[in-house]
Amino acid sequence: MKSIRPIVILSIMLLFMNLSVSEAQTTANISYTVSFPEAQAHYADIEMHISGLKQNVLDLKMPVWTPGSYLVREYAKNIESFSAEAGGKPVAAPKINKNTWRIAVKGKTAVTVKYRVYANEISVRTSYIDASHGFLSSSGIFIYPANMLHQPSTIHIKPYQNWAKVSTSLEMVNGDPFTLRAPNYDILFDSPIEVGNQDVFGFDASGVKYEICMYGGGNYDKERLKKDVHKIVEQEAAIYGENPNKHYVFIVHNHLRGGGGLEHLSSTVLGASRDAYGTDKGYQSFLGLVAHEHFHLWNVKRLRPIVLGPFDYDNENYTTNLWIAEGFTEYYQEIIVRRTNLYSPENYLDQLAGEFNILENLPGKNVQTVAESSFDAWIKAYRPNENSNNTTISYYNKGAIIGMMLDLEIINDSKGLHSLDDVMKYMYTEYYKTKKRGYTDAEFKQGFEKFAGKKLDDFYKNYINGLTPVDYNKYLGYAGYKITDELADNNDPALGLTTVTTANKKVIVTSVSRGTSAYIDGINVNDELAAIDDNLITDASSMLNGKKTGDKINVGIIRDGLPLTLPVTLLKSTRVKYKIEPVDNATPQQLLVRKKWLSL
Ligand SMILES: [Zn+2]
């Protein structure tokens, strides 16, 4: 049974009543032709043809967001020159709201619509077109007929100049790479399309055809990449017991400085730096990104919170569970790379300690729970401001730490018999495969409890819906590890702010941490730090040289063009820098948990 929220059902019913949409609509035939006559100026020209219409009114809409990236991006802002015709004659197509065009089609069975999309934003979730290639992020390219998300469509690609290849997980029609078929709009919007002369290579893994499509060049070693990505793919499929795709595409955009990734059902888009493949750090970080986005093909694309599909493309889709959808994916990306032996155990533990340090150095850890962080992704995580560190945490970061806590708890309680893997596989089988729907908060909690062998009410109260500090040594202790703070003996003072130095050597405050000297004594973001006592500030990193915790100093600032002197009492830096180390004399149980956890 597919679960659709009551409000969606209601709005669909209203649409049916208002627009007299008939059942015959299911026979509508929809095709798009995408051409690039002005690729050099970042344009795609779209021609959409719909036939088999039997209604009086046709509303055409553009999604306001891309699933996986939780921000309303208003893709309709990039559309221009929208026109429609029927029977060879122009018909009116007025906009009725920010992302909907309405066409009166009474007595007409077919309509052709033309529009242009300006695509000049380089990111994994926005389209980008220039003379060298076209990257189509489908939810920002294709308008869809309201109430026809279930409809299939055909996409014809007319490449620009010498572009010779199309890379996408959409199926080709009759073996023609420039003619594609989408079985419905959820699949179309979940299938980015790369057109150009990308470097394509691949491998087969457990019966699935994998393609890696590299745009932009880079110092990657194809054979090494194929081998290592293959290992990651196999490790991840082993967790869930199956690889549900037939064909999977990695679209990789290499830039001078690139990063980020966006997951899709049968593909992913990754950003990378061209020279990243040449260093251990850069290469490991790329493999971590591969492991992350590929893991999503199960976690969030199939095993998903109940509101994340079927999607509402007009509005925010709220969930308190991004700490599982994203946080656990963050946890697994590193542990999977560890399992392939591409990370040593020490590499892995250093990376994990880095996650602890991010959370523990954020004042927002005392303000926002991980469930709240998930829910407010739309207005907070994706719209940070200068005060975000004081008020928010990342559901990626704390979610990864919670993944570690639950993994270790389950391994310890089951004496190495079970792990978080079993929860993921059980939830995937139970909800995606058997019940064919998303999960609720309570259902995932029951999944944890099934393998933890106990109720997790207190765990949820403390860590998911509460602000209880994480007891790292309790969880790491299960595996015979502990944290030590390398800065524990540090008594140096700190102002508790970050700065940027401008081209003309002005030191400007960019953030102020709650509870620090700067926060308490009133230094603000955008203040120019001009002097401390009688010494002019030329370098932020040395401005406290010679000062001690407890010193009272005068900070000369320029605020809104006016000079001001603020008396400041220097407090001790509160920063921590954890390192994970083995305990002395680990017990057999601790060694057993360690072995299972780190795949030793
Ligand atoms: Zn992710």
pLDDT, tens only, 25-48:
457 899 999 999 999 999 999 999
Q: Which residue has the higher pLDDT, 179 or 13?
A: 179
What's the CA-to-centroid distance between 294 and ligand 1, angstroms?
9
What's the CA-to-centroid distance between 325 and ligand 1, angstroms?
7
> Is 465 found in the same domain as 367?
yes
Is 15 domain-assigned?
A: no
- What was the pLDDT predicted at 26? 54
Mean pLDDT of 7-31: 50
Is 214 domain-assigned?
A: no
What's the CA-to-centroid distance between 313 and ligand 1, angstroms?
19
What's the CA-to-centroid distance between 428 and ligand 1, angstroms?
17
- Predicted confidence band of residue 206 (pLDDT cuts 50, 70, 90): confident
- 525 phi/psi in degrees, rounded to 5: -60, 140
Is 167 domain-assigned?
A: yes
What's the CA-to-centroid distance between 240 and ligand 1, angstroms?
18
The full DSSP string for 408-433 is: HHHHHHTTTS--HHHHHHHHIIIIII
Q: What is the pLDDT of residues 404-438, one digit of tens each?
A: 999 999 999 999 999 999 999 999 999 999 999 99
Is 81 domain-assigned?
A: yes
> Is 595 found in the same domain as 545?
no
> What is the SS3 assignment for 599?
coil
What's the CA-to-centroid distance between 574 and ligand 1, angstroms?
30
What's the CA-to-centroid distance between 488 and ligand 1, angstroms?
33
What's the CA-to-centroid distance between 548 and ligand 1, angstroms?
43
Other C-beta atoms closer than 10 Å to the C-beta of 8 total 14
* pLDDT of 92 higher than 90: yes
Integer Cα distance of 535 and 556 in angstroms: 9
> Is 563 found in the same domain as 521?
yes
> Is 415 found in the same domain as 359?
yes
- What was the pLDDT predicted at 302? 98
> Is 507 found in the same domain as 366?
no
What's the CA-to-centroid distance between 396 and ligand 1, angstroms?
8
Is 18 domain-assigned?
A: no
> Is 122 found in the same domain as 52?
yes
- 562 phi/psi in degrees, rounded to 5: -110, 140
What's the CA-to-centroid distance between 291 and ligand 1, angstroms?
10
- What was the pLDDT predicted at 15? 40
Integer Cα distance of 600 and 583 in angstroms: 17
Instruction: List, in sequence order, the alpha helices (H) in 194-340.
Output: 222-240, 280-295, 322, 329-339
What's the CA-to-centroid distance between 2 and ligand 1, angstroms?
25
- Domain-terminating residue out of 150, 165, 197: 197
What's the CA-to-centroid distance between 311 and ligand 1, angstroms?
17
What residues make up the domain containing 550?
A: 493-572
CATH code (residue 542): 2.30.42.10
Is 168 domain-assigned?
A: yes
Domain count for the chain? 3
> Is 568 found in the same domain as 593?
no
Q: What is the pLDDT of residues 266-275, one digit of tens each?
A: 999 999 999 9
Q: What is the pLDDT of residues 541-581, one digit of tens each?
A: 999 999 999 999 999 999 999 999 999 999 999 999 999 99
> Is 465 found in the same domain as 442?
yes
What's the CA-to-centroid distance between 170 and ligand 1, angstroms?
22
Partnered with residue 542 across adjacent β-strands are none
Whole-number average pLDDT of the chain: 94
What's the CA-to-centroid distance between 304 and ligand 1, angstroms?
12
- Domain-terminating residue out of 181, 197, 213: 197
> Is 508 found in the same domain as 453?
no
CATH code (residue 468): 1.10.390.10
What is the chain's Cα-based Rg? 27
> Is 514 found in the same domain as 418?
no
- Predicted confidence band of residue 173 (pLDDT cuts 50, 70, 90): very high
What's the CA-to-centroid distance between 95 and ligand 1, angstroms?
34
Mean pLDDT of 131-147: 98
CA distances from 82 to 47, 61, 90, 129, 581 (A): 10, 12, 11, 19, 62
Mean pLDDT of 283-310: 96
- Domain-terminating residue out of 173, 197, 221: 197
How buried is residue 566: exposed, middle or buried, by Cβ count under 10 Å (0-12/13-18/19+)?
middle
- Predicted confidence band of residue 309 (pLDDT cuts 50, 70, 90): confident
- Token pair of 518 as six digits: 């700067």
What is the enclosing helix (H) or strand (E) of 355? helix 345-360
What's the CA-to-centroid distance between 77 and ligand 1, angstroms?
26
Locus of tokens 């008594």: 491
* pLDDT of 178 higher than 50: yes
What is the pTM assigned to this prediction? Answer: 0.94
* pLDDT of 321 higher than 80: yes
What is the enclosing helix (H) or strand (E) of 353? helix 345-360
What's the CA-to-centroid distance between 395 and ligand 1, angstroms?
10
Is 287 domain-assigned?
A: no
> Is 508 found in the same domain as 390?
no
How buried is residue 122: exposed, middle or buried, by Cβ count under 10 Å (0-12/13-18/19+)?
middle
What's the CA-to-centroid distance between 477 and ligand 1, angstroms?
28
> Is 404 found in the same domain as 522?
no
What's the CA-to-centroid distance between 123 and ligand 1, angstroms?
14
What's the CA-to-centroid distance between 462 and ligand 1, angstroms?
24
Is 274 domain-assigned?
A: no
